[in-house]
Amino acid sequence: MIFFSTIPLHQLAYAEGPGVDAQGAILMEQESGRVLYGKNENQKMRIASITKIMTAILAIESGKMDELATVSERPLQAEGSSIYLKKGEKILLEDLVYGLMLRSGNDSAVAIAEHVGGSLEGFIYMMNEKAAEIGMKNTYFSNPHGLDDHENHYSTAYDMALLSQYAMENETYRKISSTKTHRAPQEGEEWDRIFKNKNKLLRMYEYSTGGKTGYTKRAKRTLVSTAKKDDLELIAVTLNDGNDWNDHMNLFDWAFNTYDLVSIVEKGPISGLENDAYKNKVEAARTFYYPLTEDERDLIKNEITLIKPPKNGKWGKNPPSPVGKLTIYLEGSAIGELPLFLKGTYRELEEETFWRTIKKVVTKFFIVTVPYG
């Protein structure tokens, strides 16, 4: 089976960044998932309230954001940060998610879990199922908020970057994560709840686009943040970092000064194919972007792999789809693949994204390597 995607096939050694005080850290580019900087990024650690990114995206994907959730006794028992829910009150799930992300409400996390998952335990099962789907191989969730009430609750800087990358594909999550202040009506009261975002980077750093803070006595300070300048979108994660605001800004500034998001392969016709069955007939379904330094641009190579064409050079009424793949290499390491199609056969795939990749069985290949892009 050939797996076509824009997911890097081999993790390149990353450049030496500015350094951080964190025990575990990572800087990832959103579009490609390339790791630009890492420090103990695969070490399993406590993660505190950045857990709530998973809680938020599950709530958003549930399709229940416009439903009223009835608060039970259990959310009121959650310790720490709170949006001060009251037993029996009804509140929009959407407002619970704002309270979760902006004020880090632990009571909000439990209320979300019970409404979306049917029970706290059911929601925790959903969290771990989603983590497996995303590829978070070194993560286990035991609660929806990140409190230190379970020993078996952990993740890594890399896995949390994967989660943030996934969540940032959702426009509702992007909006909530970047909101500085949200007002939520309060049942039975004349005044609204007002949530001000604890993520100081939204006010401190001009390129900040969102994220989630975290702290417990055992995890110490944890932080996931995102930033965008021009076309380059970044994700930073730090675990156990007493200097996290500065570390994130320094990582972002370094990457913005070091990398550009480059379109290596453009969506559309593929040139350089001489076989009559393929000449001027093969197209890439999407553009392939990748963050590169100035020196790396000349190190890109491409390899095209195609199905063996018919002997008469003519395709029947049902030509193969896809017809092959284009593999992109940087310094000999494969960094991504794109499916290739005969003209007019990939219309339904034009909106495919990073997280909706294509899997096809392709046999009888011959290989053509051409300079392209």
What mean pLDDT comes out for the span 55-73?
Answer: 98
- pLDDT per residue as tens digits for the range 149-188: 999 999 999 999 999 999 999 999 999 999 999 999 999 8
- pLDDT per residue as tens digits for the range 67-86: 999 999 999 999 999 999 99
> Which residues contact residue 302 at a Cβ distance below 8 angstroms, ignoring those fewer than 6 apart?
264, 265, 326, 327, 328, 329, 369, 370, 371, 372, 373
Question: Quick check: 7 pLDDT over 80?
Answer: no
pTM given for the model = 0.88
Proportion of the chain above pLDDT 70, given as a percent:
88
For residue 347, the model assigns a pLDDT of 58
Burial 175-194 (b: 16+ CB within 10 A, else e): ebbbbeebebebeeeeeebe
- Structure tokens given for 50: 């950045």
| Separation CA 235–CA 241 (nearest Å) | 16
- pLDDT per residue as tens digits for the range 274-321: 888 888 889 998 899 999 999 999 999 999 999 888 877 677 777 888
- Residue of 103, 124, 67, 269 lying closest to 194 (CA atoms): 103
Q: What domains sit in the chain, N to C, each tagged with a CATH number?
A: 15-258 (3.40.710.10), 262-368 (2.30.140.30)
Q: Which long-range contacts (CB under 8 A, 24 or more apart) does 239-242 make?
A: 239/22, 239/23, 239/24, 239/25, 239/45, 239/46, 239/47, 239/156, 239/157, 239/160, 240/22, 240/23, 240/24, 240/45, 241/20, 241/21, 241/22, 241/23, 241/25, 242/21
**Strand, coil or helix: what is 75?**
helix
Active site residues: 49, 52, 104
Compute the Cα dihedral for 74, 146, 200, 217 and give only its sign: positive
Q: 212 or 17: which carries more pLDDT confidence?
A: 212
For residue 271, the model assigns a pLDDT of 87
Question: Quick check: 5 pLDDT over 50?
Answer: no
> Which residues contact residue 166 at a Cβ distance below 8 angstroms, ignoring those fewer than 6 apart?
57, 134, 355
| Separation CA 209–CA 206 (nearest Å) | 9
- Structure tokens given for 158: 């890399």
What mean pLDDT comes out for the span 208-212?
Answer: 98
| Separation CA 95–CA 111 (nearest Å) | 11
For residue 356, the model assigns a pLDDT of 39
Question: Quick check: 362 pLDDT over 50?
Answer: no
| Separation CA 144–CA 147 (nearest Å) | 8
Question: Quick check: 372 pLDDT over 60?
Answer: no
User: Taking the mean position of all CA atoms in its chain, how far away is CA 58?
Assistant: 14
- pLDDT per residue as tens digits for the range 324-348: 999 999 998 999 999 999 887 765 5
Listed range (15-24, 71-80, 116-125) with the worst mean pLDDT = 15-24
Question: Quick check: 352 pLDDT over 60?
Answer: no
**Strand, coil or helix: what is 201?**
helix
With bands split at pLDDT 50, 70 and 90, how would you rate the model's confidence at 370?
Answer: very low
Whole-number average pLDDT of the chain: 89
For residue 130, the model assigns a pLDDT of 98
For residue 319, the model assigns a pLDDT of 80
| Separation CA 252–CA 226 (nearest Å) | 9
